[in-house]
Structure 1
C-alpha cells in the first residue's frame, strides 16, 4: 500500500476496534441482565443498551468509515486486510440505511422485553407478552424495510445472523430435513426397542453442578477465561479473553444440564479459539451463527452423545450422582428419541429439527405479515401436533419457551439446523484427516479434535465467508447429506431398524 493508504487503513482500523469493543460491552451487559442483574434493573439497563447500540451505529455509519472504505477499495490490500474491509463494508452498508433512532428503539424495546417474556412464561400468559412481541415485530419490519424495501423482509433479517447463505439455500436445506427426517422418526417410534434410562430419582443441584463442572474440566474449558452460571435459557457469550457459559438444572434429569453445558462449551471453545492478536477486528470474531452453532452441536452430539464419551465419563456420573450404571445405559439415555417432547432444548437429535421448522415457519410468516401475533399460540400448537404428534397444554411449554423473540431475533432459528448440518460435515472431515476419534474420546483426550477445529475453523475468524470456510475445512459444499447419513446409521443401530 502507499503511505497514504497505509495511514487511511490504520485510522480505519481504530474505528473498527471501537465498533467491536462497543458490541462486546453490550454483550456483557446482556449477560449480566440474564444472569445476575436484580429484577428491578431493567429500566436503567434498557437505556444503557440503547446508548451503546446508538454509539456503535454512529461509529459504523460515520463518513470517515465510508470514505476509508472507498479509498481502500482501490488500495493494494493483502488477504487479511481485504477480509476486514469486506466484513466492515457489509455491516456499514446495512447500518447506514437504518436511522439511529430506530436502532435505539430496537435496543431499548428488546431489553425491556426480556422481563416481560420471563413473567409471561412464568405465569403461562401469552397475552402478557403479545403486545411487546407485536412491537418488536413491527420494529423489525421497519428495520428490514430501511435496509431494502423491495426484498422479502424475512430474508433481510436472516442476513443479520447468516449473511452468506441466501434464503433459497436455507429453505432447501430445511425442506430436505422436512422430507427425510419424518420417515426415520416414524421408524424409531414403531421400533420395539426400549432404550435404558438409569435416572429414576431426583438429583441435588449441587451434585449436578459438580458433574457439569467435571465435564467442562475434561473437555478443556479454560476457567481463567470463562465461568459457569445459570440462566432461564442457557447461552454462551464473550470474547477470546472471556467466554462464559450458562446452564440450568432439572432435578429429575441430569442429562438436561449436562447436554446444555456441553452445547454451550462448544460455543465457548469456538470463541476462545479465535486469535488473540486479532481481537477488535472481524478476524478475531466468529463467523456468524451457522458456524457458531456447528461448534456447539458438534461437541454436544458428535462427542457428548457418542458411545465412547460414555465409556470415559460413566465413572464420573456414578461418583457425582451416586448411581450404579453402565456406559451403554448412559449412551441410550443420551440418545433416546422422544416424539412427545415439547421443549426444543431438551429434544433429541432427530426431533430437534422439527422444533426448528415450527419456529422458522411461524417467524417467517409473522415477519412477512401472513400471520398475526395473536394467532401464534394456536398455529404453534397445530404445527407441533402435525410435526411431532404432541400438542402443548400451556403456552409456557409452547410458544413462550424460547427467549429469542424477546430479543427481536427474527431469522435466528434456521441457524440451529444449519449448524447441525455443518457439524456433521466438520466431524467427518476431522476424522478423514486424523483417523477415528473414538479411542481419543473414550480416553478423555479431546486435544486433537479441539486443535483441528481451531486450525480449520476458529483461527480464521471472519476471513472466509461461510460457504468458503466449509469448503476450506472439508473440501465440500454445504450439504445436509452427511448429517442424514450419520443420523440413519446411528439411530438405525440404536433402534435396530
Structure 2
C-alpha cells in the first residue's frame, strides 16, 4: 500500500491543483470549527445558548458554502479537467468536484436556513422527547422536510428527492443497491427472529439485572476504552442524550449515555463510538483538510463502529478479557461467567423499542422503519401529523411491539432534528460491510480470536489502518471494500455470520 502511494506522488501537480488544495483546506477548516461548536451544543453548552449558537453555526455554514462555490473553485476544477494527475490527486479532484457541483446548485440562503433550523430543531427535539410531545417537534420536522425537498430540487429536479439526499451520506452506492441490501436483510432476519422467539433456548438473560450507578458505569466505559486503545491525548468521553462521535485525526471526541438498569448498553455504545473515533484518528495526519485525510462517507464509517461493537465487543473473546473489570466495578456480578456475559449481550429482545439499545438482529428492523417513513415524508407520500401512528403501526408489523409513547417511538433518534434524511440506510449498510471486513481480517490475522481474548488489538487496528483508514476518500466505497476483502461489497458475509452465530446461540 505504501509503495503504491509513493509511486503515485511522482508526477508533479500543476499550479491549479495546489491552489485548489489550499482552498479545500481552508473551507474544511471552517467546517471543522463548526463541528466543535456542534459538539459543544450537545455536550457542554448551557440550555439558553441556542439562539446565539444557531446564528454562529449558520454563519460558518454560509462562509464555507461561499468558499466551496466561489467562481475560482469552478475555474480551478475546469483547468484540471485535462491535467495529467496521479491517481491520488485525481481522486482529490473527483471528490472536490462532487462537493462543488452539489453545493453550487444550492443557494447560500437555503444553506443558512437549513443550518439555523437544525440548531433550533435540536433544542425542540430534546424538549419534545423529554416531555413526550411530538406536536412540539412537528413544526420543525415539517420545516426540515420542506427545506430538504427544496435542497434536492436545486441539485436535480428530475430525480427522486430522497435518492438525492441519500447521496449526501453515501455518494458511491446507488439507492437501488442500498434498497436491495435492506430487502435482503429483511428476508433473512424476519424469519430468523421469528424462529428465535419460538425457540426454547435458555440464555442467561438475567445475569446483569439490578441497578448500576451511572458514575460507576462511566468508570467501566473508560476501562473498556483503555482496553481497546482509545487515545485520550486526542479524545474525550462525555455524556449526551444521543451517543455520537465528532472530530478529526488530531481531536476526536466520543459521547455515550447510561441507563442504570442496562450496563451492557453503555458498553456497547461506548465501543461503537470508539470504532468511529478510531477511524478518524487513523486518517493520514499530513492530509488533514483534504479528501485524502477524510473518511469515506457514512457506510464505511458505520462499518468501523459496528465492527468494534459487534464483532469485537459482543464476542466471547472480548469478555474473557473484559469480564474481570466488570466484576471489579460491580462486585455483585462476580458469579457471572464469560458465557453468561456473551449470552446476555447477544440476546434477541422481544420488546425493545429503542434502536441504539437494540440487539444485533432487530436493530435492522428499526432502521427499515425509519428509512421507509423518512423516504415517504420526502416524497410527499406521508403527512407530518401521521408520523407517530405510522411509526407505531410499522413497529407492530415488523417487530411485534407498539411504542407506548412517542418518546420511545418516533422521537427516539436525533437525526431528524438535524435534517439528516437519507442517513439511516448507512447504518445497515455499515453493519453488512463490517461483517465482510472482519471476515477478511480474521482470514489474514493469525489467531485473531486468541489475541482479542488476550486484550491484544494491535493487529486488528493495524489491518483496519492499512486497508481502510490510511486511504481516506481515495477510493469509492465498492473499490475500497474490494481492495480490502478481494470481493465486491455484498451481504453474503453478514448473512453467513448471523446465521452461524445465532443458530448456535438459539439452536435454530
* Residue number among 221, 234, 251 corresponding to 2:243 in the alignment: 234
The 8 Å contact of residues 202 and 251 in structure 1, kept in 2 or not, is answered as: yes
Task: State the shift of 1:19 in Å.
Answer: 1.6
The equivalent position to 1:195 in structure 2, one of 183, 203, 209, is 203
- Is 1:302 the counterpart of 2:334? The answer is no
Query: Which residue number in structure 1 is paired with residue 498 of structure 2?
Result: 487
RMSD over aligned Cα atoms: 1.3
Residue of structure 1 equivalent to 2:438: 427
Give the deviation of 1:434 after TM superposition. Answer: 1.3
Look up the match of 1:98.
106
| Secondary structure in 2 matching 1:229 | strand
Structure 1 residue 75: deviation in Å?
A: 1.1
The aligned runs of 1:115-264 (5 Å cut-off) are: 115-196=123-204, 197-264=206-273
When normalised by structure 2's length, the TM-score is 0.97
Contact 1:298–1:424 under 8 Å retained in 2: yes
**146-155 or 17-26, larger mean C-alpha shift:** 17-26
The CA distance in 2 between the partners of 1:348 and 1:148, in whole Å, is 38
Conserved? CA contact 1:5–1:72, under 8 Å: no
Higher alpha-carbon deviation: 68-77 or 352-361? 68-77
In the alignment, does 2:354 pair up with 1:338?
no
Residues 399-478 of structure 1 mapped to structure 2, 5 A cutoff:
399-478=410-489
Deviation at residue 74 of structure 1 after TM alignment: 1.2
**What is the total number of aligned residue pairs between the two structures?**
497
Q: Give distance in 1, aligned partners of 2:37 and 2:119.
A: 10
Quote the offset at 1:5 in angstroms.
6.3
User: How far is the alpha carbon of 1:192 from its aligned partner?
Assistant: 0.5
Once the two structures are TM-superposed, the CA of residue 213 in structure 1 deviates from its matched residue by 0.2
SS of alignment partner, residue 120 of structure 2: helix
1:15 aligned residue (18, 23, 28): 23
In structure 1, what is the Cα distance between the partners aligned to 2:445 and 2:326?
29
The 5 Å alignment of 1:47-66 reads 47-66=55-74
CA contact (8 A) 2:298 2:426 kept: yes
- The residue that corresponds to 1:376 in the other structure is 387
The residue that corresponds to 2:5 in the other structure is none
Instruction: Give the Cα separation in 2 of the matches to 1:487 and 1:5.
Output: 47
Cα contact 1:5–1:71 (8 A) shared by 2:
no
Question: 473-482 or 225-234, which moves further after superposition?
Answer: 473-482
- 1:314 aligns with 323
Matches within 5 A, 1:262-301: 262-301=271-310
Unaligned runs of 5+ residues in structure 1 are none
Distance 1:309 1:426 in 2: 18
CA distance in structure 1 between the partners assigned to 2:443 and 2:267 by the alignment = 28
The Cα shift of 1:178 comes to: 1.3
CA contact (8 A) 2:13 2:85 kept: no
Aligned to 1:25: 33
- Match in the other structure for 1:347: 358
Shift of 1:160: 0.2
* 3-state SS, counterpart of residue 471 of structure 1: helix
Larger mean CA deviation between 427-436 and 336-345 belongs to 427-436
